[in-house]
Amino acid sequence: MQNKLEYFLFISFSYLFKILGLNLSRKFSVIIAFFFYYIIHIRKQTVLQNLKYAFPDFSQQEIKKISFANYKSFAITFTEIMYLPHLSHKKLIDTVECINLDLVKKKYQEGNPIILLTAHFGNWEYMAASTSVQLGLPLNVVIKNQRNPYVTNWLKKNRTRFGNEVIPMGVQIRKVYQKLKDKQIVLMAADQRGDEESIRVKLFGKSTSVFPGPATLGLKTDAVLICAIPVRQKNNKYEIIFEELSLENLPDNFEAKKIEICQRYTSHLQRIIEKNPEQWLWMHKRWKH
């Protein structure tokens, strides 16, 4: 019963935003941000602590300003995701500018398996859908199922609406491997925190565990790794610069190769975060392990 009630509330937002329209709904997102930041305080201390870790030289006032902007950014992303069922192909293309997308086309036409490395930054859902539409090719999107199965099914329906296929994390990682062996394109969020025993890299100068899946799969399938992180612009459109991650001069040892690849991606992500710190999802304990 709890799952059904949560789902009813969830889709109610979708219908509300359909009535309001996307532009007005984005303005409504400020109210959502205010509610969760100032009234309920969901993960507020985690966000503040993470920002202090990342930017120790920032004043308390600067940290608070970025933290509230982070809630506004996430609220906009939530609003846009809930609007996905009502978004046209044209609007989806107009909302996302894909810079250097020809790199992906070229590598695909050459017969290379491709892993697109994205992050929980800007609007990662719009990135996946719009990239597929603009490429004219389906992406195999690796996702994490939600606790609520009704929400999971809703997300799956809308994630596949524009032609993509979704592959849940876990045992189905074998399916991801096969997709790459078949020279297809796989999209993975590569900014997730690993477990305590996972490999470690430096993020903002501090050691943190990372999920090694993309690096492992890339090495085992000789896939091309391309960074694709959506950055929200002032006009609420997104800009994605597709940039190949260099695999030159890697160590000889396989484990050392994985660590180096993860570090190179993490360094790339950090450079983007530094320019737009409010757009990354700071609401998990990034330096827990």
Task: Summarize the confidence of residues 165-188 as an average pLDDT.
Answer: 92
- pTM of the predicted model over 0.85: yes
Cα three-residue angle 40-45-49, rounded to 5 degrees: 160
CA distances from 175 to 89, 144, 171, 262 (A): 28, 15, 8, 22
Q: What is the pLDDT of residue 152?
A: 94
Give residue-wise pLDDT tens across range 133-160.
999 999 999 998 989 999 999 999 999 9
Q: How confident is the model at residue 171 (pLDDT cuts 50, 70, 90)?
A: low
Cα(97)–Cα(92) distance, integer angstroms: 10
Residue-wise pLDDT for 4-39, tens only, equals: 898 998 989 999 999 999 999 999 999 999 999 999
Mean pLDDT of 184-199: 92
Of 97, 103, 156, nearest to 130 by C-alpha is 97
Q: What pLDDT, on a 0 to 100 scale, did the predictor assign at position 107?
A: 98
**Which DSSP string corresponds to 44-61?**
HHHHHHHHHHH-TTS-HH
If you search the block for the tokens 């096969």, which residue do you land on? 178
pLDDT level of residue 194 (50, 70, 90 thresholds): confident
| Token pair of 167 as six digits | 């592959």
pLDDT at residue 289 in the model: 60
Residue 102, H or E segment: helix 102-109
In this structure, the chain runs to a length of 289
pLDDT digits (tens, 9 = 90+) for 197-217: 899 999 999 999 999 999 999
Q: Is the pLDDT of residue 169 over 90?
A: no
Give mean pLDDT, residues 111-124.
98
8 A C-beta contact, residue 22 and residue 78: no
pLDDT score for 197: 84
Q: What's the per-residue H, E or C state across 220-249? A: HHCCEEEECCEEECCCCCEEEECEECCCCC
User: Does pLDDT of 193 surpass 90?
Assistant: no
Sign of CA dihedral 228, 187, 205, 243: negative
Q: What is the mean pLDDT of the chain?
A: 95
User: Is residue 96 classed as helix, strand or coil in its secondary structure?
Assistant: strand
